[in-house]
Amino acid sequence: MILREHYIEKIREFYDSDLIKIITGIRRSGKSIILSQIREEICKNTDNIIYLNFEDKRVINTINNDIELLKYIEENRKAGKCYIFLDEIQVLDGWQDACKTLRLYNNSLFITGSNSKLLSREFTKELSGRYVSFRVRPFVYKEILEYSKELNKECSVTDYLVWGGFPKRLEFDDKASVITYLNDLDDTIVINDLINRYKIKKDNLFKKIVNFVLLSNSRIISAKSIYNYLKETQDKCSINTIIKYLDYLEEAYIIERVKQYSPKTKSNLSYFEKVYDADVALNSIRCFDERYDLTHNLENIIYNELLYRGYSLTVYKNDGKEIDFLATKNGKKYYIQIAYSVLDEKAYSREFGAFANLDNSHEKIIITNDDIDYSTSTVRHIKLKDFLLMDSLDEK
């Protein structure tokens, strides 16, 4: 597996801190691998290390609660600073109390968790002021290329637009196996992590809402629009319940919602939100007859790539016209418009027209899958294949 230095370099400065290091994110995004890579790095300087994986039945059968965990560590740690790695800790009863205790006794504690038992709101509440968290995402394209090379395979941009960046899917040689793996992962995330956790009784209705949301990536969505969709299909669900379900999806790192910014009010418009999937594979496995939504997946891919590179993103409302992103990093802002292609004259006019009446105080960028350079005197065109290999929007 490739070294994910992008994440490790952010965690490294906390190796010796008494703050609890939480590595979180959607299932199978590579958290355990990163934990292992950190452990290997620390092993070069000390052998006072304890590692426990709570998905291992031998571990969970021996250690069932926080008291047993504390006892095990006390009996197995050596004198001096001990580095403790607890993988998928959320399955352990009382994990919060164990973590709060361990950090007090010359330990450096690293934990991972992915399902909704280790939600951001939960570790914020339980470990307030005692932790730093690091969210891990599925592979971006440069990581896919690196891992594909390690596997002696190739991965095209189109393959990435359809099947996304869950690392293990790259290990399968045929599409049927990829789809089987992704469907099994999807079932685990939706059923095990959400339906079972929240004891959702109307599971078929919940799955229907999940399907609608994940197929609506890169689109403006609201609880009201979902309510209207269900009304058309003769299903009943209150708007409050829909809002609750959307919160579940976001808390489990399955979706992210991005607000729209209005320069007129100089504020976020909470009733205008776009939804992005944690990985476009969550859209593609729901598509019928291989009619994959490459147009919206492309925008979703760029969203994930920009977040990976450290940009803050909002949707920008420009005098009634939507600009996909206002990206901000280190005080610098960029207007970014995304289209699959602007070869067609109407598409060209529509996409470039979104920048109308904007001054040149911030750079205007359009990203498409075209091979032709459509840059103008005021708008820089970046080809998707070039964008995916960039580290920064400032690269020319």
Distances (CA, A) of 139 to 4, 10, 143, 278: 9, 17, 6, 11
Residues sharing a CB contact under 8 Å with residue 219, sequence separation 6 or more, in sequence order: 274, 275, 296
As a whole number of angstroms, the distance between CA 272 and CA 278 comes to 19
Distances (CA, A) of 377 to 353, 358, 396: 14, 14, 15
As a whole number of angstroms, the distance between CA 230 and CA 213 comes to 12
pLDDT at 128: 77
As a whole number of angstroms, the distance between CA 21 and CA 111 comes to 6
pLDDT along the chain (396 residues), means of 10: 96 96 92 96 98 94 95 97 94 90 95 66 71 94 98 97 98 96 94 87 95 97 93 92 94 91 60 89 96 98 98 90 95 97 97 94 97 97 98 92
pLDDT at 261: 77
pLDDT at 158: 97
Convert the pLDDT of each residue in 20-37 to its tens digit. Answer: 999 989 989 999 999 999
pLDDT at 118: 57
pLDDT at 116: 53
Exposed/middle/buried for 115, CB within 10 Å: 0-12, 13-18, 19+? buried
pLDDT at 65: 95
The two tokens of residue 392 are 């920064």
Convert the pLDDT of each residue in 233-292 to its tens digit. Answer: 899 999 999 999 999 999 889 999 998 877 765 555 555 689 999 999 999 999 999 999
